[in-house]
Amino acid sequence: MKKVSEGVCPLHKKCGGCAYQGMTYEEQLGKKQRWVEGLMKKYGPVYPIVGMDVPYHYRNKVHAVFDRDRKGNIISGIYKEGTHHVIPVEHCQIEDQISDQIIGTIRRMAKSFKMKIYDEDTGWGFLRHVLIRRGFATGQIMVVLVTASPIFPSKNNFVKALRKEHPEITTIVQNINDKQTSMVLGEREQVLYGKGYIEDVLCGKTFRLSSKSFYQVNPVQTEKLYQKAKEAAGLSGKEIVIDAYCGIGTIGMTVADQAAAVIGVELNRDAVRDAVSNARRNKIENIRFVCDDAGKFMTGMAEAGKRADVVFLDPPRSGSTPAFLQSMVRMRPERIVYISCNPETLSRDVAWLRGRNYQVKGTWPYDMFPWAGHCESVVLLSRSSGKN
Ligand code: SAH
């Protein structure tokens, strides 16, 4: 690992996003390793955590909430942990630096364009949030302006001025969120410039992503994680594979060339739309996607007597559900590759699977979130011979 240090972030106490500020990177990795070992070692070997060479500015998605300070100046940043009080942020150690610069430009432009900043208490005002996504491999950048109303005064001039300052922006989207909610994005969108989505390259495949689709925030580590998941699955080209909680289809498409067929299942409609387009774009013909709750889908498959040889699952932090796990076991996959961003729910679900004839072959932790107190892992489970 390179010896680089950006020092302790002056905002870390107020922000709360980086629980491990003040520690060296080695200490952080040690802490995460011990955390995963504490929860998973009783089931099988836990391999050494894979960290980053440079653990800074890894986030390819940056979100800033807009507000005014007491003096009336426009500020943008993050909510103070557990509150709706906005802390101004100009530099962040984990966010992409180009995205932070663009947000700074939008802050200045909002002032010169006399843009009304949304006030959460009264529900008045226009600009609420800015979301930026950057494809690290392609350099494509999407700017999403979240506004309280669809009527955008001086829209064309604003877009023109922003593009002039940042010619690297490839698409600008207006997202309309007129609800008093803590959700950042609303339902309606309007493309102001470009295609309305960006593309990125991961494991040699090109992926399109729109504003609402889930995409791993740390692409450098994601490539390593997916390679491990693929290797762990030990595919021969003959298997029927399920990619559950598939997002825009990244895992399924990474393994499709080593499988007979892949079915991806995902709840978010936009992500499924991206996934279908991604398969076509990468000319992958043995993959299809279903937009459904993963538990419901698996129950349907199990009831229809369908089988799968290998199941990848990558659920949200809350982990999987009894409906999903029960149906998966009924489908008797030889191997299960569980990718998790929460060791606690991972351990809970794995404990259940062990009682159903599955053995843990190994847990591989990956540091996807340096400075933050989260840890990602890949776990390989294998079905013991005999009945279940
Ligand atoms: N495997 C993908 C996405 C993982 S994140 C990747 O690596 O990029 C988890 C995904 O689960 C999100 O896309 C989320 O929309 C989806 N999801 C959440 N609850 C779900 C459910 N009940 N059924 C299916 N998908 C769900």
Query: Helices 343-354 and 322-330, interaxial angle, to 10°?
Result: 40
Is there an atom of ligand 1 within 6 Å of 316 CB? yes
CA-to-CA distance for 341 and 345, rounded, in angstroms?
9
pLDDT of the residue at 81 = 81
Tens digit of pLDDT for each residue in 44-53?
999 999 999 9
CA-to-CA distance for 100 and 47, rounded, in angstroms?
35
Is there an atom of ligand 1 within 6 Å of 246 CB? yes
CA-to-CA distance for 32 and 302, rounded, in angstroms?
36
Atom of ligand 1 nearest to the CA of 226: 7
Is there an atom of ligand 1 within 6 Å of 203 CB? no
pLDDT of the residue at 4 = 66
Query: What's the gap in Å between 321 CA and the centre of ligand 1?
Result: 13
- Candidates 364, 304, 365, 308; CA nearest to 335 is 308
- Which residue out of 9, 18, 246, 341 is catalytically annotated? 341
Q: Tell me, what amino acid is at 172?
A: I
- Whose CA is closest to atom 15 on ligand 1? 268
Query: What's the gap in Å between 244 CA and the centre of ligand 1?
Result: 7
Decide if 291 is catalytic: no
Tens digit of pLDDT for each residue in 87-140?
999 999 999 999 999 999 999 999 999 999 999 999 999 999 999 999 999 999
- Whose CA is closest to atom 16 on ligand 1? 245
Atom of ligand 1 nearest to the CA of 214: 13
pLDDT of the residue at 2 = 52
pLDDT of the residue at 80 = 87
CA dihedral 360, 291, 263, 343 (to 10 degrees): -20
The yes-or-no verdict on residue 1 having pLDDT over 60 is no
Query: What's the gap in Å between 245 CA and the centre of ligand 1?
Result: 4
Query: What's the gap in Å between 267 CA and the centre of ligand 1?
Result: 7
210 in Cβ contact with 146 (< 8 Å): no
Is there an atom of ligand 1 within 6 Å of 266 CB? yes
Is there an atom of ligand 1 within 6 Å of 300 CB? no
CA-to-CA distance for 169 and 161, rounded, in angstroms?
12
- Candidates 193, 259, 189; CA nearest to 230 is 259
Q: How many CA atoms lie within 13 A of 43 on its CB side?
A: 30
3-state secondary structure of 38: helix
Q: Which residues contact 383 (CB under 8 A, 6 or more apart)?
A: 332, 333, 334, 335, 357, 358, 359
CA-to-CA distance for 386 and 90, rounded, in angstroms?
59
Query: What's the gap in Å between 209 CA and the centre of ligand 1?
Result: 14
Tokens standing for 148?
């309280």
Q: How many CA atoms lie within 13 A of 159 on its CB side?
A: 19
pLDDT of the residue at 15 = 87
Atom of ligand 1 nearest to the CA of 341: 5
The yes-or-no verdict on residue 3 having pLDDT over 90 is no
Tens digit of pLDDT for each residue in 135-171?
999 999 999 999 999 999 999 999 999 999 999 999 9
Tens digit of pLDDT for each residue in 17-58?
899 999 999 999 999 999 999 999 999 999 999 999 999 999
Is there an atom of ligand 1 within 6 Å of 216 CB? yes
The yes-or-no verdict on residue 344 having pLDDT over 80 is yes
Query: What's the gap in Å between 271 CA and the centre of ligand 1?
Result: 9
CA-to-CA distance for 300 and 294, rounded, in angstroms?
10
270-292: average pLDDT: 96
Q: What is the rounded average pLDDT for all residues in the chain?
A: 95
- Whose CA is closest to atom 6 on ligand 1? 247
Tokens standing for 66?
């807009």
Query: What's the gap in Å between 184 CA and the centre of ligand 1?
Result: 18
Atom of ligand 1 nearest to the CA of 265: 24
Q: Can you say how many angstroms the Cα of residue 67 is from the centroid of all Cα atoms in its chain?
A: 26
Is there an atom of ligand 1 within 6 Å of 250 CB? yes
Is there an atom of ligand 1 within 6 Å of 221 CB? no
245-258: average pLDDT: 97
Q: Which residues contact 139 (CB under 8 A, 6 or more apart)?
A: 168
Is there an atom of ligand 1 within 6 Å of 323 CB? no
pLDDT of the residue at 43 = 98
Is there an atom of ligand 1 within 6 Å of 271 CB? yes
